[in-house]
Amino acid sequence: MPTFEYKARSKEGEVRSGVIEASSEEAALDLLQQKNLIILSINKYSGTGWLRMQLPLGGGVTTKDVVIFSRQLAPLFEARIPVVQSLHTLITDIILPGMNGHQLASTLAKSHPNLKVLFMSGYTNEMVFRNVMKPGVAFLQKPFNPSDLCRKLEEIITA
């Protein structure tokens, strides 16, 4: 059975590397994804050397960007929400550097009119909630657990 060397990141952000035996590269990727790992690279021993296959990162996208994006999509996958729908959903904190979550949502809504938004915050003061506590605005108070996030996302997307 072929052997594959991998480098992956856990949901907690830890970089892990190791070796896995699988019938094919796809099977190896499936096994690693079942372990909730985000694959950064995978190498297959071909008998003549190591073939290194990495994520195609072009156009200024860094590995860190891919990892962050993957971690943000993970709760949507756990909620069994189709990827196409999940890409039409914004999960944002209310307080952001340079702008706030409402400004971000408004800007994105101009080009994505069907965008669904989930706001979150760890702050509890009135200023933060002024625009959030309106009918039809989805909000999740921090801290929350993954099941709360999945439940809220499912409510938003299926509404």
In the prediction, which pLDDT does 53 show? 36
In the chain, the percentage of residues whose pLDDT exceeds 90 is: 0
Between 133 and 22, the higher pLDDT residue: 22
User: What is the pLDDT confidence band of residue 71, given thresholds at 50, 70 and 90?
Assistant: confident
- The rounded Cα 52 to chain-centroid distance in angstroms is 25
User: What is the pLDDT confidence band of residue 95, given thresholds at 50, 70 and 90?
Assistant: confident
CATH architecture for the domain at 63-158: 3-Layer(aba) Sandwich (3.40)
d(CA 86, CA 116): 9
Cross-strand bridge partners of residue 9: 15, 38
- Give DSSP secondary structure letters for 96-130: -SSSBHHHHHHHHHHH-TT-EEEEEES--SHHHHT
Angle at 119 between CA 104 and CA 127, to 5 degrees: 85
What does the longest C-alpha to C-alpha distance in the chain come to? 65
Residue indicated by tokens 């993970």: 74
Q: pLDDT averaged over the chain? A: 76
User: What is the pLDDT confidence band of residue 84, given thresholds at 50, 70 and 90?
Assistant: low
Between 117 and 80, the higher pLDDT residue: 117
